[in-house]
Amino acid sequence: MPDNHDGQGDVQDGKNFYLDVPQICSVFPLKGSNALDWGMKNRLARVFSPQDGRTVMLAVDHGYFQGPTTGLERIDVIITPLVTFADALMITRGALRSSIPPEMAKPVVLRASGGQSILKELSHERIAVDIEDAVRLNASALAVQVYIGGVHEHESIGNLADMVNAGNRHGIPTMAVTGVGKELARDAKYLGLATRICAELGAHFVKTYYCEANFARVAAGCPVPLVIAGGKKLPEPAALEMAWRAVNEGAAGVDMGRNIFQCEAPLAMIQAVRAVVHGDETPGKAHDLYLSLKSMQERGQYA
């Protein structure tokens, strides 16, 4: 360091300290997330739009237990064009590495549990991804299935707790996914129980099903954001109606798969879903948008 004989030296004295402006302390807008660390909030802000706190996630992780599901035979061909219109992509690490271009600038919600197939008991899962691999893949969140009331309820809850602990050490949020067996009713009482347990155990957001009666109570009783599973393929008007009802009754968005990639016009459908979730469009107008984009695609005016 040079000598400072004149008492001035090279130190520059700042001028604009804005003495009349208090330190800005912003409140993180996502439900139940304000006390999280900076890295957690940053990753959640990739998944959920900071403008409205909502998300349109594209779920394409079905192959981890279903194999080559209809519509997911070629993820590289079918899904890659849809990613542009999704806020986040829910996917397995195998499909991500093999089929999704690394220049994709969308957040990844990484499927982190597995260990069963449609040929066996679905609730028999384990943690299937090491946290270090999730870091290598730049995951914005981790997804773990939880089977409240299932044969392996205890193990699946343990999987969630273990993943939350691992994710917390690295600043990666965990999304709990409520798996519902065929013998259990998808009503507000069950969904309220399952989602609340997941949140209490540390899940940062929860994927669950929509129920027509009292879903607002499910959303209000869960202190973290809920995103709605699309479930089985529905007619397009019904899928858009479900999305509209869910976000208007407290959901923070959707995580749709089959209701998008099994449509005749998936590109048109994902944009119609976005219109509902982010544009507050009515189901009827969103369906009109779907039909218009589908028609343009059929005429070769829209890729």
The token duo for 302 is 């829209």
Token readout for 14 is: 């700042």
> Within 10 A of 63 (CB to CB), how many other CB atoms are there?
17
Q: Which of 41, 120, 182, 207 is catalytic?
A: 207
Torsion of CA 24, 30, 31, 33, to 10 degrees: -70
Here the tokens at position 210 are 């929509």
207 has catalytic annotation: yes
The H or E element that residue 205 is part of is strand 205-208
Smallest Cα–Cα separation from 152: which of 129, 124, 127, 175?
124
Q: Which two tokens stand for residue 151?
A: 């044969």
> What residues does 207 pair with on adjacent strands?
177, 227
SS3 state at 255? strand
CB atoms within 10 A of CB 173: 26
Using CB atoms within 10 A of its CB, is residue 215 exposed (0-12), middle (13-18) or buried (19+)? Answer: buried
DSSP state of 126: E
Distance between CA atoms of 234 and 239, rounded to whole angstroms? 6
Cβ count near 138 (within 10 Å)? 13
Which residue carries 């507050």 as its tokens?
280
Q: How many residues does the chain have?
A: 303
DSSP 224: S
For residues 114 and 126, is the Cβ–Cβ distance under 8 A?
yes
- Just list the catalytic residues: 207
